[in-house]
A and B are shown apart, each in its own frame.
Chain A
């Protein structure tokens, strides 16, 4: 987050963003590009060609030691210890009530070397969580802001990235990672087939001083092939269409992964983890409010915080909302009572005092075509 003076931090690519005419906004304690030209144009580039994102504001923690897997299992809902080197896995750190401290990705680089990527807005709090819980042979290094993260996302990502990378990207499966030599970097870097857009793509973890060269080179040599610098505005629309949660919206300290529709990530058969009993009780009671997809019938977009009604009664609240270009509708997520959660439930969203028709729909709104 902000340092003591409240000043915003800058990623290594700050000057590159300004040179591209980016509009910068504060996000997670950093000055980040929200858009370069147009959110819709950048969204379109990722869906049809490829987009390049600076995600260096995200928290990166290195975890080392024999006990990392077992240790992390006790703090999170998903399995960690059975990950193999070269695997990445989505996970959620929970509190005692089953609410989410953060949603994260673990990358197992080798038997004893891991990378944990956390949300920028939670990086300080998450560092406190993991530091306070440290035990056994687990060593932690906080690299937040000290190492860059560049994502290339879109149907052309693999073809455009391959010429720079020694590893065979075709052999790197979804949610796999590998250390590979790349042009412009002294040492091998971690490359993962992960992302937050609903498209195929890769995330590249590289040193701050090598990030600028890599960013500039990728853009300069691939602009003609459709590679477009994309800001956080497009990223938010892309992830919402893809039904991916954003911490603070679909997940927070009071919204459990069960409520967020992430039951697939909760392994109740693990011996113990923080919040397990609360989650099991919530699952057994079954009457919890839950995140659903919503589409609006009209042109007025639903926005976070708007009230949701079903059968004339207050049924919940919008948590994220935007125009969804891929479905040509206004789309939203809402946290609603179970009675309003069934697909096809007619809803009304209150916008500036007037109620607008909407309907409960399954998530995601958008699924990329299989090739």
Chain B
């Protein structure tokens, strides 16, 4: 299963899309399929400062609560209101309408810690 190109990936199954120094964050298709029906996403507050790889929220399926480990650090400049009223959007469009939040990166070099689509594909095919 090929992963969308042009994105970076974390081993915690989040994706990052870079646009200059702004990073959009979501969870991968693999993650949403593993979680099952998503019923709630607790996102960081607008304006919060996140530290890379910290637990900054949760995503809840019918049966389970899972931490969101932010793949990038920086200031939260947007959150996706649409998934508050329709959490299943994350199941339907994990790489699109189901994005979580946007971060203004303090330090763009931190994305060096993330994986390419090919590397992430290898990770999930091994698990």
Task: For the complex, give the distance between the alpha carbons of A303 and B65 in Å.
Answer: 9
Nearest 5 pairs between A and B by C-beta? A323-B39, A40-B37, A39-B62, A299-B40, A38-B37
Q: Is A35's beta carbon under 8 Å from chain B?
A: yes
Q: Are B36 and A38 touching (Cβ within 8 A)?
A: yes
Among A300, A323, A352, point to the contact of B62 (Cβ < 8 A): A323
Residues of A whose CB lies within 8 Å of any CB of B are 23, 34-35, 38-40, 233, 236-237, 299-301, 303, 322-323, 330, 352
New contact pairs (11) apart from A299-B87, A352-B58, CB-CB < 8 Å: A34-B63, A39-B61, A40-B37, A299-B40, A300-B40, A300-B42, A300-B60, A301-B39, A301-B60, A303-B65, A323-B40
Among B37, B42, B61, B84, point to the contact of A352 (Cβ < 8 A): B42
Task: For the complex, give the distance between the alpha carbons of A192 and B80 in Å.
Answer: 49
Residues of A within 8 A of B61 (CB): 39
Which B residues, 14 to 67, have Cβ-Cβ distances below 8 Å to chain A?
A: 36-37, 39-40, 42, 58, 60-63, 65
CB nearest to A236 among chain B residues: B63
A-B contact pairs, 22 of them (CB 8 A): A23-B36, A34-B63, A38-B36, A39-B36, A39-B37, A39-B61, A39-B62, A39-B63, A40-B37, A233-B36, A233-B62, A237-B62, A299-B39, A299-B84, A300-B42, A300-B60, A301-B60, A322-B62, A323-B39, A323-B40, A330-B39, A352-B42
Residues of B within 8 A of A38 (CB): 36-37
Residues of B within 8 A of A233 (CB): 36, 62-63
Q: Are A301 and B63 touching (Cβ within 8 A)?
A: no
Residues of A within 8 A of B63 (CB): 34, 39, 233, 236, 322
Residues of B within 8 A of A40 (CB): 37, 62
CB nearest to B85 among chain A residues: A299
Take A299-B84, A301-B60, A323-B62 as given contacts and tell me if A35 and B40 are in contact as well, using a CB distance cutoff of 8 Å: no
Task: For the complex, give the distance between the alpha carbons of A299 and B39 in Å.
Answer: 8
Which B residues, 59 to 77, have Cβ-Cβ distances below 8 Å to chain A?
A: 60-63, 65
CB nearest to B91 among chain A residues: A38
